[in-house]
Chains A and B, each alone.
Chain A
Amino acid sequence: DTEVTQTPKHLVMGMTNKKSLKCEQHMGHRAMYWYKQKAKKPPELMFVYSYEKLSINESVPSRFSPECPNSSLLNLHLHALQPEDSALYLCASTRSGGDTGELFFGEGSRLTVL
């Protein structure tokens, strides 16, 4: 069982909707990540939070808004998305920021934008 929990597992939304993806880990990890994965492609980094501060934003459109309320939680707020934003959104965490080591992934949230 994965130790990074993502909800919801599936989400369908219209282009005018506002929704959020949630991620939780209780491993004491201090870096948390959002990745986007399209079918048959590798994960693509979107955001990194280290010690609850945004460290990396890979030029992601503003319709995606990350939030890190505390060291265990990571949210991704979605607004005015486009159909091409449909993908598997993966949350991940590592033990500490900037120290390469195991990247633990959640099972992902499958997003469909109509």
Chain B
Amino acid sequence: DIQMTQSPSAMSASVGDRVTITCRASQGISNYLAWFQQKPGKVPKRLIYASSSLQSGVPSRFSGSGSGTEFTLTISSLQPEDFATYYCLQHNSYPRTFGQGTKLEIK
């Protein structure tokens, strides 16, 4: 099975900050990676698919990059509504696997 390791597991940042979250795959997954945002008590929402494609309706301050084993989600200028938990998901092979999550909190 492919293991997905996210870092950091938690972080605090301020409104306006640039934030980067990393996801590493235990083996190459090409660009078969998606990023999700989940707010407390809410359903996860897909932000990015195919590593770098922005989901329709998602603000352009979100971007994704990477291929192979290392991927990043970047938020260029944090907004109050961005404080949430973020997950990566590999869909290169079965079983699909999520990263353990990154909780982004207000500093």
Tell me, yes or no, whether A binds B.
no
Task: Please list the residues of chain B having a beta carbon within 8 angstroms of any beta carbon in chain A.
Answer: none
Task: Please list the residues of chain A having a beta carbon within 8 angstroms of any beta carbon in chain B.
Answer: none
